[in-house]
């Protein structure tokens, strides 16, 4: 019996072109299955680690997911804003440890501009409570200073002290650029793998200053005198949203309820972790569909293998008869064919792992830069091993079909087949 695996391997090797194609089909399907799962788990990881350590996100009343999307992911726009008085009221609350104001609505060459305060650099956390770090420079100090995310710096080739202009409105190309408002790059943030990397941060006063020249979307006939800008003139009246850190976790729910029931202004306060989970469940549907598609591709690969083995059976009847003549039993023929398909699946799985690991290894820098996904290519985990085991097992099971046919053929043919 121990001779069979060697025979199966050599028989396959003699048909290496067709066997190779079968292996390749399985490898591609395994690659897809592993790749989808890898990206999925990394996406989930990176998604849920976008914000951490923030107890509440507060904005004008809309949907929780909408609020999370525009305030944290910079996706979409706020429909309304929050008054500065409310922000200050919450900030002064004895249970509140810190607050970070967020003012959105402008862009710089396709990157979102966010007005905020120094508190942002001090209290914002992502991932496993990582604080924001500067690779160069420091937080903005003056009105016309900006702190840019790693991707902004890389994508636009900005260095410290470069002069940049901020546009009113959003979009890659703006016809209404404020040339007379040059901002100095005061700091560049270290890469976080979150939307922070794609954000230009300026002070709230700067946001007001940008809009001082613009009223109702029209430029003032007499340009604003920037030399006269001072903090008093530029104090914000409304912001888009704000982040809240509480002194004790016990106070979070109470504060959330208070804000949601606040009478003077319609507010919405959400716990980011909870809403992230809801949002992920929404995205998870597409994600499950992707997994199903990947599994179907594996199935197609295995069906291809069955077809290839069945097709080859007829031209291999002589081979089986020879084996029978030297003492192979029909059971040997059966085992040989099951072994062959198992071997094809095994080699396909190994090739699939090799392809997945090399493709992800090569694509890792791109995935990190473009999507903020950090691919960790360690040893295969439980999921990967389960996939490998399942595909090999499925390969062995698929082999039962041609094996049964081969078994029946060799019983019927005996030694007398003539081709």
CB of 330 to another protein, least distance (A): 8
* Buried residues in 267-298 as b, exposed as e (16+ CB within 10 A): bbbbbbeebbeebeeeeeeebeeebeebbebb
In this complex, which beta carbon is closest to another protein, that of residue 7 or of residue 65?
7
Selected binder of another protein within 328, 355, 391, 394 (CB under 8 A)? 328
Selected binder of another protein within 220, 226, 247, 329 (CB under 8 A)? 329
Beta-bridge partners for 23:
none
SS3 state of residue 131: strand
Residue 412 CA to chain centroid, in angstroms?
57
In this complex, which beta carbon is closest to another protein, that of residue 248 or of residue 416?
416
DSSP state at residue 297: H
CB of 4 to another protein, least distance (A): 8
Give residues 70-129 in contact with another protein (rule: CB under 8 A): none
CA distance 243 to 87: 10
CA distance 239 to 86: 10
CA distance 14 to 119: 69
In this complex, which beta carbon is closest to another protein, that of residue 237 or of residue 416?
416
CB of 18 to another protein, least distance (A): 13
Q: Point out which span in 7-15, 53-61, 137-145, 265-273 binds another protein (CB under 8 A).
A: 7-15
Structure tokens at 246: 């509480």
In this complex, which beta carbon is closest to another protein, that of residue 173 or of residue 419?
419
Beta-bridge partners for 214:
219
Give residues 360-419 in contact with another protein (rule: CB under 8 A): 414-416, 418-419
In this complex, which beta carbon is closest to another protein, that of residue 6 or of residue 377?
6
DSSP state at residue 196: G
Structure tokens at 26: 């399985």
Selected binder of another protein within 76, 142, 331, 389 (CB under 8 A)? 331
- By CB under 8 A, how many residues form the interface with another protein? 25
Q: Point out which span in 165-173, 314-322, 336-344, 388-396 binds another protein (CB under 8 A).
A: 314-322
Structure tokens at 100: 């970070």
CB of 410 to another protein, least distance (A): 9
CA distance 258 to 274: 18
Cβ atoms within 10 Å, residue 47: 16
CB of 12 to another protein, least distance (A): 8
Selected binder of another protein within 7, 252, 271, 313 (CB under 8 A)? 7
CA distance 290 to 190: 33
CB of 323 to another protein, least distance (A): 8
Selected binder of another protein within 229, 319, 340, 384 (CB under 8 A)? 319
DSSP state at residue 41: H
- β-strands 199-203, 111-116: how paired? parallel
CB of 402 to another protein, least distance (A): 18
CB–CB of 106/170 below 8 Å?
Answer: yes
Residue 324 touching another protein (CB under 8 A): yes
In this complex, which beta carbon is closest to another protein, that of residue 10 or of residue 129?
10
CA distance 309 to 286: 35
CB of 198 to another protein, least distance (A): 57
Position of tokens 């001090």?
Answer: 122
Structure tokens at 221: 């006939």
CA distance 343 to 399: 10
Site string for another protein, 259-298 (x = CB under 8 A): ----------------------------------------
Position of tokens 């999921």?
Answer: 383
Residue 318 touching another protein (CB under 8 A): yes
Selected binder of another protein within 3, 231, 253, 385 (CB under 8 A)? 3
Residue 13 touching another protein (CB under 8 A): yes
CB of 328 to another protein, least distance (A): 6
Contact residues toward another protein (CB under 8 A) are 3, 7, 10-11, 13-14, 318-319, 321-332, 414-416, 418-419
């Amino acid at each position: 019996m121990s001779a069979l695996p060697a025979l199966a391997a050599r028989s396959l090797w003699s048909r290496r072109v067709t066997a190779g194609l079968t292996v390749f089909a399985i490898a591609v399907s395994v690659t897809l299955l592993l790749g989808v799962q890898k990206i999925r788990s990394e996406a989930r990881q990176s998604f849920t680690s976008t914000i951490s350590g923030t107890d509440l996100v507060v904005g004008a009343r809309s949907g929780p997911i909408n609020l999370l999307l525009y305030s944290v992911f910079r996706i979409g726009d706020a429909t309304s804003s929050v008054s500065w008085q409310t922000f200050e009221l919450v900030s002064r609350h004895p249970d509140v440890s810190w607050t970070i104001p967020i003012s959105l609505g402008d862009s710089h060459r396709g990157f979102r501009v966010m007005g905020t305060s120094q508190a942002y650099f001090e209290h914002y956390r992502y991932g496993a409570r990582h604080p924001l770090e500067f690779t160069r420079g420091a937080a903005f100090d003056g009105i016309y200073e900006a702190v840019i995310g790693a991707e902004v710096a890389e994508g636009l080739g900005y260095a410290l002290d470069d002069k940049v202009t901020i546009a009113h409105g959003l979009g890659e190309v703006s016809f209404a650029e404020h040339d007379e408002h040059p901002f100095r790059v005061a700091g560049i943030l270290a890469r976080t793998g979150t939307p922070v990397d794609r954000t230009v941060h300026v002070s709230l006063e700067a946001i007001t200053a940008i809009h001082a020249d613009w009223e109702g979307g029209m430029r003032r006939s007499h340009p604003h005198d920037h030399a006269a800008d001072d903090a008093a003139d530029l104090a914000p009246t409304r912001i888009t949203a704000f982040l809240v850190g509480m002194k004790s976790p016990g106070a979070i729910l109470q504060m959330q309820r208070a804000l949601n029931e606040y009478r003077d202004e319609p507010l919405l306060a959400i716990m980011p972790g909870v809403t992230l989970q809801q949002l992920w469940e929404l995205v998870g549907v597409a994600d499950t569909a992707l997994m199903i598609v990947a599994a179907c591709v594996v199935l197609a690969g295995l069906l291809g293998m069955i077809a290839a083995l069945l097709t080859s059976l007829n031209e291999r009847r002589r081979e089986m008869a020879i084996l029978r003549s030297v003492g192979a039993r029909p059971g040997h023929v059966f085992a040989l064919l099951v072994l062959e398909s198992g071997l094809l699946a095994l080699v396909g799985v190994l090739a699939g792992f090799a392809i997945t690991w090399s493709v992800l290894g090569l694509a890792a820098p791109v995935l990190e830069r473009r999507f903020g996904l950090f691919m960790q290519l360690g040893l295969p985990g439980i999921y990967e091993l389960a996939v490998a085991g399942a595909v090999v097992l499925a390969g062995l099971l698929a082999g039962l079909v041609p094996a049964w046919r081969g078994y029946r053929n060799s019983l019927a043919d005996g030694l007398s087949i003539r081709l």
